[in-house]
Amino acid sequence: MATLPLKAKNTLSESSDVFETGKYEVNTTTVRTTHPSAPPVEVFRVTPLTEGTYPVLLFCHGFMLASTWYTNLLKHIASHGYIVVAPQFYGFVPISNPEEVERAAQVTQWLSTGLPLVLPEKVNPDILNLALSGHSRGGKTAFALALGRLDQKQKSPIRDNPSLPKFKALIGIDPVEGTSLSDRPPPQILKYIPRCFNMSVPVAVIGTGYGNQWAGPLIHPCAPDGLNHSEFFNESKPPACYFLTKEYGHCDMLDDNWIVNTSRVVCKSGTGRRDLMRKSVGGIVVAFLKTYLGGDEKDLDAIVNDPSVAPIILDPVIYVKE
């Protein structure tokens, strides 16, 4: 086991450059369902090693992707003083979106009792400071969970379950509703009515400039217009932030390995350095979490006021506070 650094006083308002690796050494592990903590699904956990209590981010992976393929992005976030929990909802055989939302709800319930059992010694989760995020279809899952909806006919919304911790922030990373306007599997989140989402959670949406483009003559966009980031932001109530990574594609925030590179044949990729994309997405997430979990608006305001502080082009950047 790694030697723990000296105890840190982790106040989220400490000054830091959110686009650079944070000050905390981090550790990753995969928690199987056979572990004594009994997670409902396999969980990829990323955490600081320094003794202390940290906010928690629940992260939902994209369609036919693995939680571990986001390792560099999630390590960046964790290095700034956050515990990241990324469930693996399915293997090679995808499940329905309602089942995915249900499993995400089960993991949320597990956090209070199970997460402390899989953390390093003297590292504790602050479940009262809980945020939710997801990429692609996982972004839709995150919105559905925050809205408390499994499907159109559900009579008892999951958000009314008293055993579920409450989310204080929601971040969609290139969220996608479906493959086309005629193919929107349940739960159908988008209503095409501005500011209609019935939730009070602060929202950040990070979109990609190439997500709506065809990857080839017969390969449809991974994040089609009318079903992607811009509509999710349009239907989110204030406070809500929007960041468009103008020169990057739908999977460019994932790790670089041969499996992920294969996915970029299906989803059009940008030409810029992907490590800068990961730093930028990670930095935006950290700045948003610092604002709405820690009460420190400095970094988020800096990005909104001058998007050129990011390592990549963010255009447009919109922040609607009320």
61 noted as active-site residue: no
Question: Rounded to the nearest 5 degrees, what angle is found at the Cα of 179, between the Cα atoms of 175 and 180?
Answer: 115
280 noted as active-site residue: no
220 noted as active-site residue: no
Nearest to 282, CA basis, from 140, 171, 131, 126: 171
Which candidate in 67, 174, 269, 299 is catalytic?
Answer: 174
130, HSE (Cβ side, Cα atoms, 13 Å): 19
CB 47 within 8 A of CB 77: no
Neighbours of 80 (CB within 10 A): 28
CA distances from residue 197 to 144, 189, 225, 270 in whole angstroms, order as listed? 10, 8, 19, 31
Which candidate in 229, 250, 263, 299 is catalytic?
Answer: 250
CB 87 within 8 A of CB 41: yes
242: buried, middle or exposed (CB in 10 Å: 19+, 13-18, 0-12)?
Answer: buried
Q: How many residues does the chain have?
A: 322
Helix (H) or strand (E) holding 307: none
The structure tokens listed for 279 are: 């730093």
Main-chain dihedrals φ then ψ at residue 314, nearest 5 degrees? -110, 110
CA distances from residue 304 to 134, 139, 319 in whole angstroms, order as listed? 22, 22, 7
Catalytic site positions: 136, 174, 250
